[in-house]
Amino acid sequence: MADTTKKTGTTTASKPKSSNVENSDIKEIMKQMKALMKENEAIKEQMEKMQNSQVPSATVQNHQATIDREVSFVSLHPGILNLSTEGNGQGQVYTFEEFGQIHKIPYSEAKMILKNQSHFAKEGYFYIDDAELIKTSQLTNAYKTILDQNGLENLFTANQETFDKVFKGIPKTQQEIFADLIALRLYKKETVDMNVVMKVGDITKRDLVAESKGDREIFEAK
């Protein structure tokens, strides 16, 4: 009986030891797997960072190309027009000396000009020859009525019906600009339809014939 009891006790005592060893092995394996997963994630993240730093994405490349390109600004003012990248005439200044003069301006500086002098753009003192910049600068609605250089010049030869429809639809500033162009042409003894002269004079409340005979210095500055 004593021997049987000892054998039974030995057998009963050996089972928990085997279970503890197995649990310990499983925990160690799980720990190692978690460590490997963490290491793999770290390697993956590092590789992504390296790829991003070495090869610019298409978005970055396109953005850089946009910043580097030039935009044409066309003066519609018959006199001197200054456009600056900062307020109060500070920063980079672009001077236009006559109607139709063009400056090629870097895109980034063009955006700055429009930020600080948007009223000049909305009133049609100059024309932006760039559809994308017009859109991104929220000038689409304003440009539905603003005329470019050719549009203003074509008013001199337009028939009465077309002239009335177009001229009354452009901004008041451009009406004044066109009146200035008439006075300048009269001063230079160029041929201008007197019906157009009278009609524009009535709308703008100006005596353009009298103005054309005015101060010589004013016209020579235009």
- Cα 98 to its chain centre, rounded Å, is 26
pLDDT in tens, 161-209: 999 999 999 999 999 999 999 999 999 999 999 999 999 999 999 999 9
**Domain's final residue, options 84, 110, 144:** 144
Residues 171 and 123 in one domain: no
Q: Does one domain contain both 179 and 160?
A: yes
| pLDDT given for residue 106 in this prediction | 96
Residue 73 shares a structural domain with residue 140: yes
pLDDT tens per residue, range 107-126: 999 999 999 999 999 999 99
Specify whether 72 is located in the same domain as 137.
Answer: yes
Q: Both 101 and 163 in a single domain?
A: no
Boundaries of domain holding 12: 2-54
Residues 69 and 131 in one domain: yes
The last residue of a domain, from among 99, 129, 144: 144
- pLDDT for the residue 119: 92
Asked if the model's pLDDT at residue 83 lies above 90, the reply is: yes
- Reported pTM: 0.68
Q: Are residues 133 and 153 in the same domain?
A: no
Of the three residues 34, 54, 74, the one that is the final residue of a domain is 54
Q: Averaged over 36-42, what is the pLDDT?
A: 75
Q: What is the pLDDT of residues 5-34, one digit of tens each?
A: 444 444 444 444 555 556 666 777 777 777
Same domain, residue pair 111 and 176: no
The domain total for the chain is 3
Both 45 and 72 in a single domain?
no
